[in-house]
Amino acid sequence: MAPVDPLSSLLSGIRAEGSVVSHAVLEAPWTIRFADGAPLTMVSVLRGGGTLRLPDGTERAVRAGDTAVVRGPDTFHLADASTSFDRPHSEYEIACFTKSAECTAQNLGGIRWGNDPDGATALIVGAYRASSRRHERLLRGLPPVLVVSEDADVCAWLEQAAVDAALHSAGSQALMDRLLDWALVCTLRSWFEQARSDAPHWYRGMADPMLAPALQAFHAQPSQRWTVAALAAQSGVSRALFAKRFTEIMGRPPLAYMTECRMDEAEALLCETDLAIAQIAKSVGYADAFGFSAAFKRHRGLSPSVFRTAAA
């Protein structure tokens, strides 16, 4: 069985499928308003730079080689400089995930847009759709904005890929979607590795030699009725040593972690499938619907059936 990890599972719920994928070439002064409510938006600065302004007014500079991932859904801005907001400038808006379900981005002319083909700043912008509730756990582990730096060769390759997609209409959206999916995975992995102690507990656990085998086994077969002793056996250590290490790294005991993961998966199945409560109970590791329903209500405050109705 192929190894399974939490990041891969969580990313399965957020994709660039049919998303806004734009190559912008801009000459200052300019601002971009991101108002589509996307759960994640990624901005890669290929040339030049700018200033991100988050919903709370916090600003973060981004330069050539930086990729910023901004957590939604609140509106945020990107400008060539903070001062551009208060003086005449070219204005753009990206609002493609609105209720109308049709991209209403102002002044966007295809995949490549901007106010000067030879502008000093070039950007790749990707807004990601949520295809399931699984992405919510990923978002809880991210800061409002994270920035990762890449070298010049990566930026040159990314810009050329965007240009190629613009020149060849057949399959261009699919090409850029896959490119943006790849870029998001690489960016998040780089940030998690750099964040170290600030990275989510589940990511730190996968990097721990003792915990990784047990976590892979659990996420590969969450329906199995795992015990702490069984997880410890996967890692080849004693139950006591495993439980101590797990709590230190993951911030909670093994059973609490497994319950949280199972409740998250149960939420997704209740919202996205028509499976019976008994089937969902079995798929997330409970012997019967009664035990699962009691656990779900204890952790989520609603019974599975009431939660499903409310979510619908």
Predicted confidence (pLDDT) per residue in 293-309, tens digit: 999 999 999 999 999 99
Structure tokens at 307: 């939660």
Per mean pLDDT, which range of 76-90, 124-138, 238-252 is the poorest? 124-138
Structure tokens at 97: 């995930």
Q: Which of 81, 87, 95, 89 is nearest to 33 (CA)?
A: 95
Q: Which residues of 162-185 are buried (b: 16+ CB within 10 A; e: fewer)?
A: beebbeeeeebbebbbebbbebbe
Using a pLDDT cut of 90, give the percent of the chain over it: 37
- Taking the C-alpha atoms of residue 28 and residue 229, their distance in angstroms, rounded to an integer, is 61
The overall average pLDDT reported for the chain is: 81
Q: State mean pLDDT over 16-42.
A: 77
In whole angstroms, how far apart are CA 208 and each of 30, 212, 275? Answer: 45, 6, 35
| Of residues 125 and 257, more confidently modeled | 257
Q: What's the confidence (pLDDT) of residue 234?
A: 96
Residue 15, classed as helix, strand or coil, is strand
* Angle subtended at Cα 172 by Cα 171 and Cα 177, rounded to the nearest 5 degrees: 100
Residue 270 has pLDDT above 50, yes or no: yes
Q: What's the confidence (pLDDT) of residue 241?
A: 97
Residue 244 has pLDDT above 70, yes or no: yes
Q: State mean pLDDT over 4-29.
A: 68
Highest mean pLDDT among 150-164, 194-208, 260-274: 260-274
Task: Indicate the pLDDT class of residue 37, thresholds 50, 70 and 90.
Answer: confident
Looking only at the bridges linking them, the beta strands covering 21-26 and 112-114 are parallel
Highest mean pLDDT among 67-81, 102-116, 131-145: 67-81
Task: Indicate the pLDDT class of residue 239, thresholds 50, 70 and 90.
Answer: very high
Q: pLDDT digits over 87-116, tens only?
A: 888 888 776 555 554 444 443 334 455 566
In whole angstroms, how far apart are CA 1 and each of 42, 129, 181, 221, 229? Answer: 33, 29, 24, 10, 21
Q: State mean pLDDT over 175-187.
A: 78
Q: Which of 37, 70, 69, 35 is nearest to 54 (CA)?
A: 70
Q: pLDDT digits over 195-232, tens only?
A: 877 788 888 888 899 999 999 899 888 889 899 999 99
In whole angstroms, how far apart are CA 247 and each of 200, 201, 212, 250? Answer: 14, 10, 14, 5
Beta-ladder partners of 113: 24
Residue 189, classed as helix, strand or coil, is helix
Q: State mean pLDDT over 144-169.
A: 69
